[in-house]
Structure 1
Amino acid sequence: MNNLSLIIRPELPTDNEAVERLHERAFGPGRFARTASRLREGAPHLPEVSFTALVGTLIVGSVRLTPVIAGDLPALMLGPLTVDPYFENRGIGAALMEKSMQTAKSLGHKLVLLVGDEPYYRRFGFKVVQPGKLVLPGPVNPARFLAAELEPGIMEQVHGQVRPGA
């Protein structure tokens, strides 16, 4: 972590404005047009599995998980995972991922989906979703549509449209 005094804690309602500014710096205004962003618009993220990373009082990273329905199965959509550009490559994203995935599993969630780079997310258990198995509500590069089973074998039971959850 390069001697950062990093604190990972649950995202608080008072963090929302700072987290949104972080997303804007990291992803720009085009972030809302992405398929994953449109899916997340349908339901608020879950505070119990969404975390922020702080250095002192400065929010330098965030991960959010949002409920979705994958076919007929409740699942989570991960993202965005964001790290302030000035704090990249220090393990902050990995620390946020590990905390969110462990917490989701401990709370009984079975499946996490995301759109992202498989080489990065592979270490957290993500694999490319078999084409046609699940369908997102917009265009996505099939090589970037990933899933992590928190319950082994759950992907065998899942097929169909991914839509916002409750």
Structure 2
Amino acid sequence: MTLLPLVIRPETSLDAAAIDRLHERAFGPGRFARTAFRLREGVPHLADLSFTALVGTLLVGSVRVSPARAGGAPALVLGPLTVDPAFGSRGIGGALMTASLDAARAGGHGLVLLVGDAPYYARFGFRPVPPRHLVLPGPVDPGRFLALDLREGALAEARGNVVGGA
């Protein structure tokens, strides 16, 4: 059996259809109703912070990052982070997260927000947003609304509504 190496690379416009199919397989049609989706709706993701994972020529993972405003302060919204279920538990999600967060730090960004599994994202430094500190445009379990300060104090400076876009 031949082992194919994992390649993490920046997302290109040619990846869009494969990423859409990956999101459909991983999240199903209900993904459009989620608050995190609504936050990103109509907001183009940032190509320099969005990455794909390939095994051979097969796209098996993707992470996208979009611009947002958090109480008027600039922020990033990470998501979705998607790994093909057939390739789960192999470190692909972690490799995508590392690539994206490293690029965000290098780009001078201060704050990353996401809605996700706190135990998983804690290993990257994400912590729950304090209650009533920031407000998303829809319902979300407060324990799943997470933030990462890429610049010390960035979350403390951001208060109020979170909206998609720069």
**What TM-score range do you get, normalising by the shorter chain?**
over 0.9
Q: How does 1:111-130 map to 2 (within 5 A)?
A: 111-130=111-130
Q: Which residue of 1 aligns with 2:63?
A: 63
Q: Counterpart in 1 of 2:47?
A: 47
* Structure 2 residue 100 is matched with structure 1 residue 100: yes
Structure-to-structure mapping, 1:132-147, within 5 angstroms: 132-147=132-147
Quickly say closer, same or farther: Cα 1:17–1:69, change in 2 above 3 A: same
Q: Is residue 74–residue 165 contact of structure 1 (8 Å, CA) maintained in 2?
A: no
The percent of aligned pairs where both chains have the same amino acid is 65
TM-score computed with the length of structure 1 as normaliser: 0.97
**How many positions carry a matched residue from both structures?**
164
Unaligned runs of 5+ in 2: none
CA shift digits 1:14-55 (9 cap, x unpaired) = 100000100000000000000000110131100000000000
Give yes or no for the alignment of 1:75 onto 2:68: no
Q: AA paired with 1:22?
A: L
Who is 2:84 aligned against? 84
Aligned to 1:15: 15
Partner of 1:165: 165
- 3-state SS, counterpart of residue 124 of structure 1: coil
Residue equivalent to 1:109: 109
Amino acid at match of 1:20: D
| RMSD across aligned positions (CA) | 0.8
Per-residue deviation, residues 79-138 of structure 1 (Å, max 9, x unmatched): 000000100000000000000001001001100000001100001110000010000000
Q: How much has 1:4 moved relative to structure 2?
A: 4.6
Conserved 8 A contact 2:4-2:56: no
Moved runs in structure 1, 4+ residues, more than 3 A? none
CA distance in 2: counterparts of 1:24 and 1:30, whole angstroms? 9
